[in-house]
């Protein structure tokens, strides 16, 4: 029997996840494929649960960063194609072949290592060639792509299934940069020599580009954030029809009185000099709720700014400094706050809502990073529409 006494838990709404997938499909041309990006434990949402749900919903495949992420999915029974997006390290070639993972190749040395592993295993291997855009030098430059594709033709155990790039412009919502990147990639494709056929799957768009780079959708898109209901860019105020998939909830574990000058953190900036309310009179003290969530569970708390939780349908500002396993919220203006009250870090309570976009903007981090959670956070699942929350992981 699982005993659920975690100080903090998430609720993953499976029905919202699958609805977001359906919404993404409705925005694409018929026949366009979707790779669900489940790297980094599906942006903290739980890669196994997310992948199983999306596979049942008919997604075309998955994208991860590293072989170990793909191997974990395979060992859990995920059968869909899995693209490992980071460049192939030659030493990983045998594992990639053994677990049926699709490798990213941007140089001949890696391709030859994969060819040798595939020959030993007696099976072919699918690969995707990565072309450089503006992203940190990753991928082969234009002329090198042509040379690489030609070299790959002599490696009999490799099948070039895809050609892709990763654009930066959509994340900056920079129209000019998007235009340059799309034009450069399209020129590369259009100028492939006649003896080098266009790979079946060309892809460039990720979640932001679904809104601001429609000309770069090609044969397939790689979607992470939108499947989780996370908005990465404003894209000129375009409607965002995706629902947040995960909530983060804790509870009030202790209530205390704080006096002026009380220390609520290790650093000198954490000394309490007023009641914590903006504009409140100095020297009046206040009331605080201790919530058993710290930066070991929610890393942005290590240096949080202008953040709050929801208690009894009202915002309770976080104060002082977070500890490894706890943080304080000012409940001076919530006099009925009581032990055991729900404290919502991400999600809705009453008419109030806190989103990862709110937290990201206040703390200067990308919203997709907010839910990169520590291992102590329990995970619960809400199944199909109307089913109760259950299933602690």
Q: CA–CA distance from 239 to each of 27, 207, 211, 234, 243 (Å)? A: 12, 14, 9, 9, 12
Cα 66 → chain centroid: 15
**Strand-pair partners of 201:** 162
Residues contacting residue 238 through CB under 8 Å, at least 6 positions apart: 211, 212
CA dist., res. 160 & res. 154, Å (int): 12
DSSP H or E segment with residue 24: helix 14-26
Catalytic annotation present for 39: yes
CA atoms within 13 A on the CB side of 53: 26
Q: Provide DSSP, 302-319.
A: GG--S-EEEETTEEEEEE
CA dist., res. 95 & res. 74, Å (int): 12
SS3 159: strand
How many other β-carbons are positioned within 10 Å of the β-carbon of residue 57? 16
For residues 292 and 325, is the Cβ–Cβ distance under 8 A? yes
E strands present in 121-267: 125-130, 158-164, 201-205, 220-223, 246-251, 254-258
For residues 83 and 283, is the Cβ–Cβ distance under 8 A? no
Catalytic, out of 228, 266, 300, 326: 266
How many other β-carbons are positioned within 10 Å of the β-carbon of residue 215? 13
Catalytic, out of 39, 171, 300, 326: 39
Q: Which of 252, 324, 248, 326 is nearest to 287 (CA)?
A: 252
Catalytic annotation present for 266: yes
Specify the DSSP class assigned to residue 281. P
Q: Which residues are catalytic?
A: 39, 266
């Amino acid at each position: 029997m699982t005993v659920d006494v975690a100080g903090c838990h998430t609720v993953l709404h499976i029905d919202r996840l699958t609805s977001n997938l359906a919404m993404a499909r409705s925005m694409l041309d018929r026949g366009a494929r979707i790779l669900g990006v489940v790297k980094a434990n599906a942006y903290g949402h739980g890669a196994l649960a997310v992948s199983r749900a999306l596979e049942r919903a008919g997604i075309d495949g998955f994208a991860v960063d590293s072989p170990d992420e793909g191997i974990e999915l395979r060992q859990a029974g995920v059968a869909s194609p899995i693209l490992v997006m980071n460049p192939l390290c030659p030493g990983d070639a045998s594992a990639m072949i053994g677990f049926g993972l699709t490798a990213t190749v941007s140089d001949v040395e890696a391709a030859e290592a994969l060819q040798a592993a595939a020959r030993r295993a007696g099976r072919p291997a699918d690969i995707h060639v990565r072309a450089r855009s503006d992203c940190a030098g990753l991928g082969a430059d234009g002329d090198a792509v042509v040379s690489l594709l030609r070299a790959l033709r002599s490696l009999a155990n490799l099948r070039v299934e895809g050609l892709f790039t990763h654009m930066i412009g959509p994340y900056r919502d920079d129209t000019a940069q998007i235009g340059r990147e799309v034009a450069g990639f399209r020129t590369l494709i259009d100028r492939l020599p006649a003896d080098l056929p266009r790979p079946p799957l060309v892809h460039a768009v990720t979640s932001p580009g679904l809104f601001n780079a429609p000309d770069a959708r090609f044969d397939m898109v790689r979607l992470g954030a939108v499947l989780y209901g996370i908005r990465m860019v404003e894209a000129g105020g375009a409607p965002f029809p995706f629902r947040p998939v995960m909530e983060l909830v804790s509870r009030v574990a202790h209530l205390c009185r704080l006096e002026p000058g009380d220390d609520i953190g290790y650093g000198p900036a954490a000394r309490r000099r007023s009641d914590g309310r903006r504009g409140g009179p100095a020297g009046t003290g206040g009331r605080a709720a201790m919530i058993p969530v710290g930066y070991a569970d929610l890393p942005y708390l290590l240096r949080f700014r202008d953040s709050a939780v929801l208690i009894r349908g009202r915002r309770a500002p976080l104060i002082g400094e977070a500890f490894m396993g706890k943080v304080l919220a000012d409940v001076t203006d919530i006099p009925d706050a009581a032990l055991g009250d729900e404290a919502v870090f991400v999600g809705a309570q009453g008419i109030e809502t806190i989103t990862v976009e709110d937290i990201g903007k206040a703390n200067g981090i990308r919203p997709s990073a907010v839910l990169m959670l520590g291992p102590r956070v329990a995970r619960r699942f809400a199944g199909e529409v109307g089913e109760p929350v259950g299933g602690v992981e």
